Structure 1
Amino acid sequence: MDKIKLSKEEYENAVDEIRKFFECERDEDIGNLQGQIMMDFILEKIGPSIYNKAIDDMQKYMTEKIDDMYGYMIP
């Protein structure tokens, strides 16, 4: 699988959220570089599993909708 890519804005927002998490939940002030390192780790190690789960859920949802559509067809 290719590396998950975010827009610059999405990436920066995610880094900000990581930094806020550390500040609020762990009472730790981490810098931007540490936030970027954490974000890169998440994208590389955890992101693909989350992405694959989302695709699997979408496929199940679409299959259900297609099955419903065929149920409404006039014979």
Structure 2
Amino acid sequence: MAIEISKQDRQQAIESLMRYAAENFDERMGNVGAGALLGFFLEEIGPLVYNQAVADVQERLLARVQEVDLEVHQDAFQYWRKFDRPHR
């Protein structure tokens, strides 16, 4: 599955890459070059981040599912207990 970002986010990411190159490499990166680099990152490295995010969500959901029984558990055979309490 290809990782896609909105047109607005893509443009913002391209501008960020251009600024990063200018400030850290003392080199000007054009719009086309930054777009190509972004495409490379999304295709080559993006899946690592995406897969880790999916694994993190799975772990959190599993923990929540395991807690459901604690939150909604009802003990059976409770009817007679209310009559078995000692009277004062």
Specify the code of the residue in structure 2 equivalent to 1:23. A
User: CA–CA distance in 1 between the matches of 2:67 and 2:25?
Assistant: 47
TM-score for both structures, normalised by structure 1 = 0.87
Tell me the C-alpha RMSD between the 2 structures.
1.2
**Structure 1: 5+ residue runs without aligned partners?**
none
Report the counterpart of residue 47 of structure 1 in structure 2.
46
- Does 2:37 align with 1:38? yes
Report the counterpart of residue 56 of structure 1 in structure 2.
55
**Number of residue pairs matched?**
74
Greater RCO (CA < 8 Å, at least 6 residues apart): 1
Q: Deviating runs (4+, > 4 A) in structure 1? A: none
Higher-helix-fraction structure: 1
Report the counterpart of residue 65 of structure 1 in structure 2.
64
User: CA–CA distance in 2 between the matches of 1:49 and 1:66?
Assistant: 26
**Structure 2: 5+ residue runs without aligned partners?**
75-88
Specify the code of the residue in structure 2 equivalent to 1:57. D
SS at match of 2:72: coil
1:69 CA displacement: 2.3
Q: Percent identity?
A: 26
Greater CA drift, 59-68 or 33-42: 59-68
Which protein has the larger Cα radius of gyration, Structure 1 or Structure 2? 2
